[in-house]
Amino acid sequence: MSRLDAWPFAALPAFPAERYSALGERIGRILGAEEHDVVLVPGEAIVALEAAAREAGASRRRFLNVATSVYGRLFGDWLADAGGEVTTVSPAVAGQPIAIDEVRAALSGGSFDAISFVHGEAATGIVNPIDDILAEARGLGLVAIVDAVASVGAEPLVLGEDGPDIVVVGPQKGLRGPAGVSAVAINTRGWALLARPPRRATLSSLSLLDIRRDWLDSDRAVIPGTPAPHELWALDAALDAIGHEGIDGVVARHRLAARAARSGARALGIATWTGDDERSSGLTTGVLLPQDVDRTRVIALAQALFGVTLAVGPEGVDPRLVRIRHTAAEAGFEPVLAVVAALGGALVAAGADVDVAAGAAAVVSVYAEARHDDAHDD
C-alpha cells in the first residue's frame, strides 16, 4: 500500500451539489436569515471579508468604518482601495469596545450610505454593541456590514428584518467547523450596495456577485469553482453537531464559559480587560497581568508546566493583556477550570501574589450555580 492510499482523505468522495446547496440553507437557519441569501466562499474568512469589502467599496459610496482591531482597519483599507469614501472611528482606548456615543458622534459628523464593524473581537476578548449600532444605522437608512467571524455561535446574533444587511461568517471558531470555507449572508439592501470593481476580470474567485451569478441564479447543478471537498464535509459535520445542540445552546455554553473564566480571573486577583460583562467575548477572555510580571515568562510557564496555551493581545494595546481561550470544544467546565488554574499557577511560578484556589473555586461556583438553575428549571 502506498502512503497516498493509506491517507484517509485520499478516497474522499466529491461533495454533491444538492448537499452544497443545503449547507447555505442550514447556515441561514442558524442566523435566522429568512430575508438573506447565503453564499459559501472557498477560503478562510479573511477571503470573504475582502470580497465583501472590495465589492462594497466599488460602489463608491460613503462608509463609516468602525475599527476596533486589525480586521476592522483592514476592512476599511479594502473599502477605500476599491473606491469607497471611508471615514474611520475607533474607541478612545485601543482594544476596548466602541462606545455607542462614539459611533453617534461620528455619524453626526458626516453623511454616510453604510456602516461596517466587527461584532466580536477574539484578539482582545471584547464585543461591540451590535444592537445599538444597528439601531443607529436603521434610523439613518444605512446599509450595515458586520464581521461576525468571532461572534457567530458565541454571541446572540439574529439577522431578521432589523439585523445587518451583509454578514460574514467563519465556522472555525464558535461553530467548531473548518477554517477553509466561509459564508456571507446578504439581503436585498446588501446586494444593492455591491458593485464590480473596475478593471477586474469577468470571472473572479474573490467576488460575491460572481458566486451569486454562478450559483444562486443558476440551476445549482454544478458547484462553482473547485472547493476542497474535505472542508465541505467538515462543515457538514459541524452543522450536524450544531443541529443536535441547537444554536441557542451553543451560544449559552460559550457565554457560561466566558462568565466562569472572568469570575475565575477576578478571584485570582487580576483584572479583566473590559469591566463590562455584556461587552466581553464568548470566545476569549482578556486579562491584565500585574505590572511587575514578565508576560512572556508567564505564557512560557503556562505551556511548560501545564500544557496550556495563553496568547498575547494585539499590537498597540496594553502590553499586560493576555487572552485565555474558551472556544468551541474549550467552552466547557473542565477546559475553563484548567486554563484559569494554569494561568494562576504560571503567575505564582513567576513570583506573582495570586490565589489559585480562589480562582478555581470561582469557576466551580459559576458552573455549579448554572447547573443548579438548569435542574430547577427542569
Task: State which of 245, 277, 292 marks the end of a domain.
Answer: 245
Q: Would you say residue 2 lies in a domain?
A: no
Same domain, 241 and 256: no
Q: State which residues form the domain around 261.
A: 247-377
Q: Taking 50 as the threshold, does the pLDDT of residue 79 lie above it?
A: yes
| C-alpha distance from residue 84 to each of 73, 201, 259, 376 (Å) | 14, 20, 39, 54
Enter the C-alpha cell of residue 247. Answer: 444554536
Same domain, 81 and 208: yes
Same domain, 19 and 84: yes
| C-alpha distance from residue 254 to each of 150, 182, 288, 290, 291 (Å) | 12, 21, 21, 27, 29
Same domain, 60 and 42: yes
Q: Residue 15: what residue type?
A: F
| Chain center to CA of 279 | 14
Q: Taking 80 as the threshold, does the pLDDT of residue 373 lie above it?
A: no
* CATH at residue 79: 3.40.640.10
Enter the C-alpha cell of residue 263. Answer: 469570575
Mean pLDDT of 226-241: 93
Same domain, 135 and 275: no
The whole-chain average pLDDT of the chain stands at 93
CB-based contact 169:183 (threshold 8 Å)? yes
Number of domains in the chain: 2
Same domain, 37 and 175: yes
Q: Taking 60 as the threshold, does the pLDDT of residue 47 lie above it?
A: yes
Q: Give the tens place of pLDDT for each residue, 271-319.
A: 999 988 889 999 999 999 999 999 999 999 999 999 999 999 998 899 9
Q: How many whole angstroms separate alpha carbon 179 and alpha carbon 1?
A: 31
Task: State which of 245, 273, 303 marks the end of a domain.
Answer: 245
pLDDT value for 158: 82
Same domain, 139 and 220: yes
**Mind spelling out the 3-state secondary structure of the chain?**
CCHHHHCCCCCCCCCCHHHHHHHHHHHHHHHCCCCCEEEEEECCHHHHHHHHHHHHHCCCCEEEEECCCHHHHHHHHHHHHCCCEEEEECCCCCCCCCCHHHHHHHHHCCCCCEEEEECEECCCCEECCHHHHHHHHHHHCCEEEEECCCCECCECCCCCCCCCCEEEECCCCCCCCCCCEEEEEECHHHHHHCCCCCCCCCCCCCCHHHHHHHHHCCCCCCCCCCCCHHHHHHHHHHHHHHHHHCHHHHHHHHHHHHHHHHHHHHHHCCEECCCCHHHECCCEEEEECCCCCCHHHHHHHHHHHHCCCCEECCCCCCCCEEEEECCHHHCCHHHHHHHHHHHHHHHHHCCCCCCHHHHHHHHHHHHHHHHHHHHHHC
Q: Would you say residue 3 lies in a domain?
A: no
Same domain, 235 and 311: no
* CATH at residue 304: 3.90.1150.10
Same domain, 305 and 327: yes
pLDDT value for 1: 44
Same domain, 215 and 313: no
Q: Would you say residue 5 lies in a domain?
A: no
Q: Taking 70 as the threshold, does the pLDDT of residue 201 lie above it?
A: no
